[in-house]
Chain A
């Protein structure tokens, strides 16, 4: 044997899954929601999405370039961040806001805290909350011009210029609200007002199921989140077991997008199995609390970034017990 062979410590095999393939799966899972957003809100929505994705990728490239970061294979995580942020804009947004938002997400929330894997807060949601605070009016302006396919979309429905369904049912009994403008099926399929990516529950669900089937995410966080939020609303909203109201709460607003795509972000959610369930329940309770008690109708974004901050604590509390150490606490025998 004269040739050189590779020598390394075991194991000598890999599953073949890479960070890039995972990120690609997330982008694929977001496509139904994105496509529906474009279908509903028109080319302007596409423009918003593309702008946020491109500016996120450019921001990351510039940071890596000027900070002289070592070159690693591109793993597409900035694409995911940009796309998630883009889906959180109303279609009426001026295009410079997505640029500012993506740059903030990548540079301030992600890179300044150490880059991929080190950020303590979901970059897309961090940026969204920053924008909501800075440009509250523009971020919640759900108006759409009429009679122009470029901005009005292909769906051809009225009522898009109204407040979001959650805003409507916040003060009205749901039957009246349904009677007035929104129906549950409209909410489920997405023919309502809102930001680009949140309107269609079914499109988001398809993406979420794709992620579960591809084993990118587990059901722990989304299910714990949705079930606990539903339970909390049922007990404390004062409307009791009102199916239509509960369904409207669950499929309305940013909850679906948040539960399937934002709360499940690897970096900013607990790594321990029980931690993920507790995290999900905490999210559900806080979202319910904000939706019932606060002046606004929405609470998902702030809930998730708040719970992001609790992740280290949750992990510490839910460290799994090692095999064979389940019953008794570990005795330290070291001399």
Chain B
């Protein structure tokens, strides 16, 4: 060990003071709940209910639509109003089940009852995690049971719980560690029970001393679990960077964390594992930070999935003035919104609203080759050359300068004094290259048959 950070990265304005001491409180939704079928990476889930059906809290209302997919559980009881496409965070319309909340919170049988994880076989635990609809809640939404089913269990030697929360303004993981630390440790123990050779590491940035102290206290009796303090820097919590900080091993875009003997899970995800396995509760809630200078009373909520963002804004005191920019997620990698009439999904970590948009202040000027993007890039790329290739639509040159290794963290665009949209241009080119590859693969497959 010894290392506490990686080369590159930036120190954006943190903004965590707004909400870090605000206890996450449960939020009771009033309106309809909306469950988009794509809340994860992979195939959309398939509805297993029809309009008019009565559903219970904790009931599976959509099943996995493929291997890489995830079922969806209903977070309230009520009636299925309709199934229709709705607007989601990404700006696209996604098929969704709309539930009319009857306010009774009738639960399915056995919901919330204790279960002894040690009485379960490994396969049973993995099946429970799959059926509970657990996906990576840090933002990517990769189905957790796939992560926990590597080719070779014995090769996994480190389970990293990502509590670094390096995105500005977000304090939801921090609140989870403080308020539900016991469940976090319980979830990590369940995951460790799947891998004989693994140790558990809870990685926390050093700007959260309270969480570090609290977690250290909780794991003091555990010989397989430790807490690692990592340096506060963005993107400390990026999967590849965190693995290298904790284990010293490096992976690239063609490798999985399991290739480095690691599994990385977000704090809230590990708590969800505990709830599913030990408390018979599928994933139907998450902690959401509502913050930003345009929010009257920034705070954290424990939210039922499917809750409308507008209700959360209202509960946080509404807007102090008309926001100029609204973001779902953090300021570095979050998605900007044009409408807040969208539902909370498994991956919604925050809703931010700002009076000002720093992006419109700096006009795009010519690159002066200052090299700030090179020093900031945590992937050790030369973003200036990537953007050069992107602007020429030269995909081959883009690949030649390792463009596909980019993790789209946004550091280059953040530091650019000429206001150049580096990350944005690079992202676009990466998408087009990935699309081309998909098309080529499909064409090759068709020709092969």
Contacts and interface: CB of A to CB of B under 8 A. Distances in A.
Given A12-B325, A271-B374, A322 B380 contact: yes
Contacts of B408: 10
Contacts, number: 178
B161 interface: no
B331 interface: yes
A326 B7 CA distance: 13
A77 B91 CA distance: 41
A116 B370 CA distance: 12
Contacts of B437: 334-335
Contacts of A77: 368
Nearest to B384: A271
A192 B326 CA distance: 61
A218 B423 CA distance: 24
A8 B441 contact: no
Contacts of B427: 9
Nearest to A330: B402
Contact of A324 (B250, B371, B414): B250
Contacts of A18: 362, 417-419
B146 interface: no
A137 interface: no
B359 A8 contact: yes
B251 A324 contact: yes
Nearest to B339: A1
B413 interface: yes
B366 A116 contact: yes
Interface string B414-449: 111111010110010000000001001100100000
Contacts of B241: 323
Given A11-B332, A326-B250, A273 B378 contact: no
A75 B380 CA distance: 29
Nearest to A3: B322
B226 interface: no
A16 B416 CA distance: 9
Contact of A10 (B252, B336, B366): B336
For B336, B410, B417, B418, the residue with the greatest tally of chain A CB atoms inside 10 Å of its CB is B417
A73 B361 CA distance: 11
A324 B252 contact: yes
A325 interface: yes
A255 B415 CA distance: 31
A266 interface: yes
Contacts of A325: 252, 402, 405
Interface string B318-341: 000011111101011111111111
Contact of B366 (A8, A115, A269): A115
A320 interface: yes
Given A19-B418, A322-B402, A325-B405, A10 B381 contact: no
Contact of A12 (B253, B327, B371, B444): B327
A236 B255 CA distance: 51
Chain B: interface size category: 35 or more
Contacts of A276: 371
A300 to B, nearest CB: 21
A180 interface: no
B115 to A, nearest CB: 39
B244 to A, nearest CB: 8
A321 interface: yes
For A115, A271, A273, the residue with the greatest tally of chain B CB atoms inside 10 Å of its CB is A271
Contacts of A273: 374-375
Contacts of B48: none
A249 B57 CA distance: 82
A47 B374 CA distance: 40
B36 to A, nearest CB: 19
B240 interface: yes
Given A14-B414, A18-B417, A118-B366, A271 B240 contact: no
A322 B366 contact: no
Contacts of A3: 322
Nearest to B354: A12
Contacts of B217: none
Nearest to B363: A73
A19 B368 CA distance: 8
Contacts of B394: none
A45 B45 CA distance: 76
B205 to A, nearest CB: 18
B325 A11 contact: no
Interface in A314-335: 319-326, 330-335
Given A22-B417, A334-B437, A320 B363 contact: no
Contacts of A12: 325, 327, 331-332, 334, 336, 354, 357-359
B140 interface: no
B363 A10 contact: no
Contacts of B368: 19, 22, 77, 116-117, 266-267
For A3, A321, A322, A332, the residue with the greatest tally of chain B CB atoms inside 10 Å of its CB is A322
Interface of B: 6, 10, 12-13, 91, 168, 240-241, 244, 250-255, 322-327, 329, 331-341, 354, 357-363, 365-372, 374-375, 378-382, 384-385, 399, 401-402, 405, 408, 410-411, 413-419, 421, 423-424, 427, 437, 440-441, 444
21 contacts: A1-B339, A6-B360, A7-B337, A10-B329, A10-B410, A11-B333, A13-B414, A17-B417, A19-B418, A72-B363, A266-B369, A267-B369, A271-B369, A271-B382, A272-B374, A320-B382, A321-B402, A322-B380, A324-B253, A324-B405, A335-B444
What 6 pairs between A and B have smallest CB-CB spacing?
A11-B410, A324-B252, A322-B402, A322-B405, A117-B366, A324-B250
Given A11-B413, A334-B437, 17 more contacts: A5-B324, A8-B336, A10-B327, A10-B333, A10-B335, A11-B411, A13-B414, A15-B417, A18-B417, A73-B363, A75-B365, A266-B368, A272-B382, A322-B380, A322-B402, A323-B378, A325-B402
